Amino acid sequence: MERHQVTIDEDTLSQTNEQIARQYGETTNPEVSEAGDYLFGKLKKADEEGEGRTVLLPLNKVTGDASQFIGKKAGDVITFDLQAAFGNDAASISNFSGLSKEEAAAATGDYVLNVEKVNRTAAPEFNQELFDKVFGPEAVSSQEEFDAKVRETIQSNYDRESDGALNNSIVEQLVNTVDIKVPTEFFKKWLVRANEGKLTPEKVEEHYSDYEKELKWSMIRNKVVEDAGLKVSNDEIVNRTLDKIMGQFNMPNMPDEMRESMRQYADSFLKQDNGKNYVSEYEAILAEKVLENLRGKVVVTDKPVTAEEFRTLHS
């Protein structure tokens, strides 16, 4: 099976640094727009009813006639050709509009933007204060280390997404190829009875293929657990929960003494809702072990792709 290995290019790094600057820079709302500003407002097709969708249009991404967006203020209405403004780049249109790639590619003709305000962000100074805000105290101490950490973080995020996509492909292939006979009519009736008041026969019929896939995967998963003798310990569940809590506090490297003091909080969280959180963590860890076991039996070939290609393939 193929696993898409993302190669981080300069364009992806540049986009990430822009996001960092926008997140940590000082934002103001000037009266009139200039190059590099963002126009916040409602966008809709010229002949469409209603007020449209809320967008933040980045002027630095406009590759067509940018002058039509300069000198604008709250209350102005701009009519423009969406494709011409963004050079027929479906990815750029999708990123700011919230449209899917397919919808963005099909969004032809004139669109109307009702400007509600102008956003301008002054880029923050790249110094130790910013480094600490982004990655935590003293995680990096120079521009070079910061750039390397940004690249490492992007790569880690894409690697995780790529692994997730591969896992989904493994599940999909097993569900579609392993011969499991499901008594369809009995299963449909059981779903309605077991979920009385929540599922109707009509809903079961509408989503039956999803329910059947879920049943088949649970049977395959249980067989792997049995054959491989997979188990999940209480310590694994507690430690995973602690890792999540530390991540929320942006303290992945918390001292052992402090980590131990948080175990009581983790135990309390896991016992909530009659142990629902405990079961959820148990199932998540077990699913990871099943997929890890299956991946050991699959020949995986890494295929290099750009970040843009990855987003297109998995959007």
Q: Which two tokens stand for residue 251?
A: 């303290």
Cα end-to-end span (Å), the chain: 19
Answer yes or no: are the C-beta atoms of 259 and 251 closer than 8 Å. no
At 169 the pLDDT is 93
pLDDT digit of tens for each residue in the chain (315 aa)? 899 999 998 888 888 988 898 889 888 999 999 999 999 999 999 989 999 999 999 999 999 999 999 999 999 999 999 999 999 988 889 888 988 888 999 999 999 999 999 999 888 988 999 999 898 888 899 999 999 999 999 999 999 999 999 999 999 999 999 999 999 999 999 999 999 888 999 999 999 999 999 999 999 999 999 999 999 999 999 989 888 877 776 665 666 677 677 887 888 889 888 889 999 999 999 999 999 999 999 899 999 999 888 888 886
- Would you list the DSSP string of 196-241? TTT--HHHHHHTHHHHHHHHHHHHHHHHHHHHHT----HHHHHHHH
What three-state secondary structure class fits 85?
Answer: helix
At 315 the pLDDT is 67
Alpha carbon distance 2, 166 (integer Å): 7
At 162 the pLDDT is 94
Alpha carbon distance 309, 5 (integer Å): 11
List of residues 6+ apart from 165 with CB closer than 8 A: 3, 4, 314
Q: What is the DSSP letter of 9?
A: P
Alpha carbon distance 130, 24 (integer Å): 8
| pTM tops 0.75 | no
At 247 the pLDDT is 72
Domains annotated on the chain, with CATH: 26-122 (3.10.50), 178-228 (no CATH)
